[in-house]
Structure 1
């Protein structure tokens, strides 16, 4: 590994060759590039293990608890705090090869720390794209990760070479395919109009239920108060005994229960209404959906919202599919798209459909959908 890296091979290439040769990694797991390159300041990874040079190092890191998560976090200690012991019997790498590896690591760290414009790469890594963390390989299940500028690819194929899926996809292309499903099937004026009508009907229904419940509870509350008044008058007249005491406690408990039920049946504010032209306004926004969601000022918020609707998008090699990848969408949004594409979608009052888990193609979107377990039949999530 040291000789190959010093000669110019990348850690992921070395890992792929080891896996191809059937050489097991730590714990019997397949090799990954991070197992080889590790982190120099923490001494992790094969290429940073000083045991191979006959040195045993302690106190590289301190561990503190993150108060926000409760998890232990490693903090590298300064070099002057490291404790070093010589164990020459463990040396297998000579100083010359060790220094060659360190020199190449320094060069690679400098080269990879900048993009083609000279900006720090960590700024690019911190950008949150619309489908970040949602794309998965259909062959091995691993996440699709950013492999270069605006391209996603299977992370296992890249880091370990154990997955045969070598097809990458342009970020804008896969975003367009997913968002096209929203534009063509989910966010149509007809569905928005249905949402407006259902919202109004739901508000009216809840108001009727609240009024009915209050009409039933208010006489009950009046009766409890009359009974309490009778007990209190008896006590004032001097008729105090254990039975009256017990009855007073029972009536106070009943009164509190009725009060709690009345408090829980507050009718919805009948002034809350959707704009009558909401469907038309929404359609105008949807026309530029992709550009709007990629606006830097709202991209993170938009990605978070999509993440709440989409469980995952599975990309599987398919020569007949656009970009060579068949895309299958799983999650709450998938169920909504399935309902929207259904011939019965015009008969949606109450969304009284079943949780169909079968995959269904969405015409015009180059995407198929699979209903997720999280979908709530009373929720539109538009």
Structure 2
């Protein structure tokens, strides 16, 4: 948790309350945010946020469009790179065959031996690279992703009340939250809570919910939500559907 005034951490200041550590340890010159929040209130607001605010349908729609476009752009670039390697492989094979034909025609083999070895090594390298670079498919997102996410979060929250599933539910819910920022409210004596969700975790949770028919990768995972770096690429452009204030 972070203080929205100074960026410092929020920590327990009493048995059941949290407050800004720099404001208490370093004084008003560093931070004047002396407001506190009860642990029970904090937990209730975070759970409500996860269940009802994160992955808002309108925000998800925009994010899906942005993310899908970026994924498909990257896949198109990968396809172009694959085509270049296929062309290079074809040239290497043609050049190698020309040298074989030259030997058959009477050219001494020792004059072309080194070039043939070079071309053969190049051919093998390109073939290995192409084996590791499958032809990309277009990415398509399921339109019910937000609904599936909310359904799964609701189940996890219910799991908090079960002794058998409590720890697992806690860990799963905790993984969805990247940062909590607490800022003095403009009105009243309370704190506004800004919850920043982990987009990768949110998408994985949505994709894993029952009823979502996403494409599977060879290892069984949902291919559409598997590349974290590409999620960051899109989200890093300033689009943050998983961030909101309560």
Q: How many residues align?
A: 204
Aligned residues of 1:151 and 1:168 also touching (Cα < 8 A): yes
Aligned residues of 1:152 and 1:168 also touching (Cα < 8 A): yes
Q: Does 1:306 align with 2:177?
A: yes
Aligned residues of 1:137 and 1:316 also touching (Cα < 8 A): yes
1:324 to 190, 208, 229: 190
Matched ranges for 1:55-204 at <5 A = 134-136=1-3, 138=5, 141-156=7-22, 160=25, 162-163=27-28, 165-178=33-46, 180=48, 185-193=53-61
Q: Does 1:355 align with 2:222?
A: no
Aligned residues of 1:145 and 1:155 also touching (Cα < 8 A): yes
2: distance between equivalents of 1:265 and 1:165? 53
Q: Does 1:240 align with 2:109?
A: yes
Q: Shift of the alpha carbon at 1:171?
A: 2.1
1:280 paired residue number: 147
Q: Shift of the alpha carbon at 1:239?
A: 0.7
Q: TM-score, normalised by structure 2?
A: 0.55
2: distance between equivalents of 1:277 and 1:330? 22
Q: Structure 2 unaligned segments of length 5 or more: list them.
A: 200-232
Aligned residues of 2:184 and 2:191 also touching (Cα < 8 A): yes
1:262 paired residue number: 130
1: distance between equivalents of 2:23 and 2:68? 51
1:283–1:328 distance in 2 versus 1, CA, 3 Å = closer
Q: Shift of the alpha carbon at 1:152?
A: 0.9
2:208 paired residue number: none
Aligned residues of 2:17 and 2:36 also touching (Cα < 8 A): yes
- Helix, strand or coil for the counterpart of 1:152? strand
Q: Does 1:230 align with 2:101?
A: no
Highest relative contact order (Cα 8 Å, sep 6+), 1 or 2?
2
- Helix, strand or coil for the counterpart of 1:231? helix
Q: Shift of the alpha carbon at 1:318?
A: 4.8
Aligned residues of 2:156 and 2:169 also touching (Cα < 8 A): no
1:290–1:151 distance in 2 versus 1, CA, 3 Å = farther
Aligned residues of 2:96 and 2:119 also touching (Cα < 8 A): yes
- Helix, strand or coil for the counterpart of 1:298? helix
Question: Which one has the largest radius of gyration?
Answer: 1
1:246–1:260 distance in 2 versus 1, CA, 3 Å = same
2: distance between equivalents of 1:137 and 1:149? 22
1:216–1:282 distance in 2 versus 1, CA, 3 Å = same
Q: Structure 1 unaligned segments of length 5 or more: list them.
A: 1-133, 334-349, 367-382
1:296 paired residue number: 167
1:48 paired residue number: none
Deviations 1:119-177 (A, max 9, x none): xxxxxxxxxxxxxxx23373x6542212344321233565x474564432112323444
2:86 paired residue number: 218
